[in-house]
Amino acid sequence: MTVDLNELRTRPIAELVDAARGYGIDNAAGLGKQDLVFEVARRQAGAGARGEGVLEILADGFGFLRWADASFQPGPDDVYVSPSQIRRFNLRTGDTIRGRVRAPKEGERYFALIKIEAVNGRSPDLERDKLLFDNLTPVLPDARLDLGGPDAPMAARLVDLICPLGRGQRVALVAPPRAGRTRLLQDIAEACSGDPGLHVMLVLVDERPEEVVTLRRSVPAEVLATTVEEPAARHLQVVDMAMERARRLVEQGRDVVVLLDSLTRLARAGNAAAPAGGRLLRGVIDASALYRVRRTFALGRRLEEGGSLTVIAAVHSDTGARIDEVVADELSGLANAVIRLDGTAASQELWPAIDAAASWSRSTERFLDAGESAGRKALRAQLSGEPTADLVALLARLQDSPDNGVLVEEVLRRSAPVSAGETTGPQGRRRLGTATA
């Protein structure tokens, strides 16, 4: 019987331990899951094996198929891909490859790919001639990322209301400590998952292990993560692999959303992994580390030939750390949308703690119709500029409306000049966060 390596990986650890014991493997309970998969598969692969994974090409020219459910963690159950196969089929890091696999021979350490059956779900011959991501034409976003439907979480609806997003934008989520940035990314991922045309990836860097488990169980997206005990090089590797996988999907014309928590942690990891003696920018961050962060964020774009990569990335603020300030300053010019969280609102346990007046999105007229655009402008004109009061008023409106489309229509109907006695702004419209007469 042909062994499916991916099926083995889905088995509970206890089942793998029992199978390993059945093969007489000593100390099976003391092995990690990837070691168990390797040992069991090696003994079952007499009739051959199959596997599917995401390719990572190393500096020496060969590569390995890594497993997304292990966040591309290198391990003994990876599948070796030879340089000749990589050259023949024009394979690149991030390609998803499925094929026939053989068990390691004596003196070998890994399973080896012997026949490629599919690359990114298509014939390998068809994939060989596809256009590279870097050769495609970036254009302004012209399709909306709809977060305001009736089934969307309240936080995602608020983002859609005051900071509508387009497919292919670079969105900076600027967040002070304990303001709920990860929770907001989770809610945005949930809202995006309602669209079957989107591929959603949540990438967590240097995260607490219990948070990773919780998010994997609750977020309807592809979750890739590194935890606090892992080295800096591992944090860099998982982000690089995630972004390369996203690029390969976009090359197929797919719309991909990457939610990254966070660019600040990525910068710190790059700084820690940089060789000693490198050039420091502003005296605190290695130039190569900052370049990596800018390169990652800058991948967000809409492509004229089809497909888009939306990058929604958290950036830490108000931490008192100089390196965090430098990262935030450097990325400010790259973003074409900003969602800013408010520490005061968060301290009052208001959720989502979004500063509506300080959040913005560019070129929304390209992906909103005239009515949607006018309604949101009218709503923004009513903001008082006091984050907490605006937030309370906006949340009340959201709770009274089944979806954002209905709310925007209501705002348009009420945006005409009001009667005397009501509290208004300079344009004659009632202000959010103020009492009426």
pLDDT on residue 45: 76
Region of 347 on the Ramachandran plot (φ > 0 left; ψ -120 to 50 alpha; else beta)? alpha
Q: Are residues 225 and 252 in the same domain?
A: yes
Q: Are residues 111 and 174 in the same domain?
A: no
Please give the tally of structural domains in the chain. Answer: 2
Using the 3D structure, point to which of 84, 101, 127 is the last residue of a domain. 127
Name the least confident of 75-79, 300-304, 344-348, 420-424.
Answer: 420-424
Q: State the residue range of the domain holding 246.
A: 138-414
- With respect to residue 118, please indicate whether it lies within any of the assigned structural domains: yes
365-to-128, 233, 415 alpha-carbon distances in Å: 38, 41, 19
pLDDT on residue 340: 97
Domain containing residue 326: CATH number: 3.40.50.300
pLDDT on residue 417: 53
Q: Are residues 219 and 364 in the same domain?
A: yes
Q: Are residues 161 and 272 in the same domain?
A: yes
The yes-or-no verdict on residue 422 having pLDDT over 50 is no
- With respect to residue 35, please indicate whether it lies within any of the assigned structural domains: yes
pLDDT on residue 424: 38
Q: Are residues 222 and 91 in the same domain?
A: no
pLDDT on residue 26: 82
Best-predicted range by mean pLDDT among 55-59, 403-407, 425-429?
55-59
Give me the chain's average pLDDT, please. Answer: 91
Domain containing residue 56: CATH number: 2.40.50.140
The yes-or-no verdict on residue 432 having pLDDT over 80 is no
Q: Are residues 113 and 207 in the same domain?
A: no
Q: Are residues 249 and 304 in the same domain?
A: yes
Using the 3D structure, point to which of 127, 162, 190 is the last residue of a domain. 127
Using the 3D structure, point to which of 105, 127, 149 is the last residue of a domain. 127
Q: Whole-model pTM above 0.75? A: yes
Decide if 86 contacts 62 (C-beta within 8 A): yes
pLDDT band of 427, cuts 50, 70, 90: very low
With tokens 């990596």, the residue in question is: 292
Q: Are residues 97 and 149 in the same domain?
A: no
Question: What does the pLDDT average to over 235-263?
Answer: 97
CA angle 343, 213, 163 (to 5 degrees): 40
